[in-house]
Amino acid sequence: MTEYDWLKPGQSVLEEEIIETPFISYYEKPVRLKSSVAKALLSAQELMPDVSVSIVDNYIPVEQKIERRKEWIAGGRKGPYQAGRKSFHSQGQAIDLNQEDPKMRDPKVWEALKKAGFSQHPDEWWHWSIGEFIEKNLGGSVTQPLYSDRRYLI
């Protein structure tokens, strides 16, 4: 399997450096993203100066995502789906909004993210990314593969 042969048609991995952004995560660590994704997040923030984007997850190293997937499988696949190496968090192209912050459910926040180029996960309102979701993505997003398709298993 090549590095990105798991991508579905229309999905893309940006060949850019992961950088620290001016945003601080819920865990009080700098939010890290690909440079153009960071610029898009800054653009979204500028569209809503009265609300600060509250982020929980952002870039997560692939080794960490693979470990989370192994734990998820070992635990009987309970809890949120874990994508392993195919996560756009591992690509530095995804963020998870803080589910405990009611402001993050505001349609103005979602509209600002969309205008800045982010796409929302169809089943997880808090998950936003660039390059991951496309209209009419048959079979669901890459983070919810069909288990019969061996290309999507680690």
- CATH number for the domain harbouring residue 59: 3.30.1380.10
Q: How high is the mean pLDDT of the chain?
A: 82
**pLDDT, tens only, 22-53:** 999 999 999 999 999 999 999 999 999 999 99
Question: Are 61 and 20 spatial neighbours (Cβ–Cβ below 8 Å)?
Answer: no
145 within some domain: no
Domain, as residue range, for 80: 18-134
Per-residue confidence (pLDDT) for residue 127, from 0 to 100: 93
* DSSP-assigned beta bridge partners for residue 128: 95, 120
Q: How many helices (H) and strands (E) does the chain have?
A: 3, 6
Per-residue confidence (pLDDT) for residue 92, from 0 to 100: 93
Q: What is the DSSP string of 29-51?
A: SEEEEEHHHHHHHHHHHHH-TTS
127 within some domain: yes
Count of structural domains within the chain? 1
Per-residue confidence (pLDDT) for residue 136, from 0 to 100: 40
Question: Are 108 and 46 spatial neighbours (Cβ–Cβ below 8 Å)?
Answer: no
* Banded pLDDT at 143 (limits 50, 70, 90): very low
5 within some domain: no
Per-residue confidence (pLDDT) for residue 69, from 0 to 100: 74
Per-residue confidence (pLDDT) for residue 133, from 0 to 100: 73
51 within some domain: yes
28 within some domain: yes
153 within some domain: no
112 within some domain: yes
Residue 144 pLDDT greater than 50, yes or no: no
3-state SS class at 105 = helix
92 within some domain: yes
Mean pLDDT computed over 143-148: 37
Strand order in the sheet with 127-129: 55-57, 94-97, 127-129, 119-120
